[in-house]
Amino acid sequence: MEKANDSSEYGFILVGFSDRPKLELILFNVNLTLYSVAVLGNTTIILVSILDPQLHTPMYFFLANLSFLDLCFSTSCIPQMLVNLWGPDKTISYAGCAVQLFSFLSVGGIECILLAVMAYDRYVAVCKPLHYMSIMHPQLCLQLVAVAWGSGLVNAIVMSPLTMTLSRCGKRHINHFLCEMPALIKMACVDVHAVEMLAFTFAILIVLLPLFLILVSYGYIAAAVMRIKSAAGQRKAFNTCSSHLTVVTLFYGSIIYMYMQPGNSSSQDKGKFLTLFYNLVTPMLNPLIYTLRNKEVKGALKKTFGRQQEARER
């Protein structure tokens, strides 16, 4: 069959903010700095969770997975974005776009479900503290993470080929920084109703259902906290959940706000900045949120770096 577009041969052009060169230079410097911080922070969380035996608990197992996903999330699009922001070449190959879309869909889906898993972990920690270790045993933790990874990968395996093979009638310009599914579907010159309905179904299962489960978990947590009579006990329970709740608010808040925007040019620019937010700012903030609010992580960091210092002095 003759192809109606040349995107598979020539690739795509990521428009981004190419009409504003000065803004591109600012974004390049800001994104490079934030990406470096995100890589350093998430790598540190992963290493500390592995190296410190005291952090070999379900919570930090999930946190290490979250940090790994944040690394993948940012790395799937930020390096290409930096290349495009730096110079006049805004192109991305068809294969590069396909890999970026697959990574974006899979990692994004996995993270949504993992956040729901972490909410359940916090529910057990607050509402059933005496049975925490018996409920959140290693086998269950592995199964929950496997479900998250499997669901995200299924989403990407189904939606990526369907999106990439849509006929675009020669259109190559993507009005975005990256190969995002809504932008690619919008370029199609054929009926995309079936693809949009399938994407909507996956969105319910992978985005809205985990969000509902998170809200239910925190509803039970709030009820349990209200039954605690001492202020110290309430504060301790709140501190147990505050980091995760902050991360959920940042991640889901930016996604929901972005996809509720109308389709005019002003909202499209907002959408680009929001995409940057949950692809770069959120992964950069997550390690800071868990480090600054968590005595165990701060203690593990001091121990790890203290050992390195002692080794150097010897």
Q: Is residue 212 part of a domain?
A: yes
Six-digit token pair at 299? 């203690």
What is the distance between the alpha carbons of residues 301 and 55, in angstroms, rounded to a whole number? Answer: 11
Cα(58)–Cα(86) distance, integer angstroms:
42
* Residue 129, in any domain of the structure: yes
Whether 26 maps to a domain, the answer reads: yes
Asked whether residue 69 is assigned to any structural domain, the reply reads yes
φ, ψ (nearest 5 deg) of residue 41: -65, -45
- Give CA–CA dist 121/125, Å, rounded: 6
HEC assignment per residue over the chain = CCCCCCHHHHCEEECCCCCCHHHHHHHHHHHHHHHHHHHHHHHHHHHHHHHCHHHCCHHHHHHHHHHHHHHHHHHCCHHHHHHHHHCCCCEECHHHHHHHHHHHHHHHHHHHHHHHHHHHHHHHHHHCHHHHHHHCCHHHHHHHHHHHHHHHHHHHHHHHHHHHCCCCCCCCEECCCCCCHHHHHHCCCCCCHHHHHHHHHHHHHHHHHHHHHHHHHHHHHHHHHHHCCCHHHHHHHHHHHHHHHHHHHHHHHHHHHHHCCCCCHHHHHHHHHHHHHHHHHHHHHHHHHHHHCCHHHHHHHHHHHHHHHHHHHC
d(CA 7, CA 4): 9
Q: Residue 308: what pLDDT? A: 55
Is residue 292 in some structural domain? no
Q: How many CB atoms lie within 10 A of CB 169?
A: 12
**Structural domains counted in the chain:** 1
pLDDT along the chain (314 residues), means of 10: 51 80 86 92 89 86 93 87 83 89 92 94 91 92 96 95 88 83 86 90 90 93 86 78 85 72 52 76 84 69 62 53
Q: What is the pLDDT of residue 82?
A: 87
**Strands 91-92 and 12-14, bridge-based pairing:** antiparallel
User: Which residues span the domain enclosing 236?
Assistant: 12-262+269-286
Question: Is residue 291, in this structure, part of any structural domain at all?
Answer: no
pLDDT value, residue 2: 42
- The CATH number given to whatever domain includes residue 82 is 1.20.1070.10
| pLDDT the model gives residue 236 | 77
What token pair was written down for 18?
Answer: 């190419």
pLDDT of residue 258: 64
At 220 the pLDDT is 92
Residue 64 lies in a domain: yes
**Domain for residue 298, yes or no?**
no
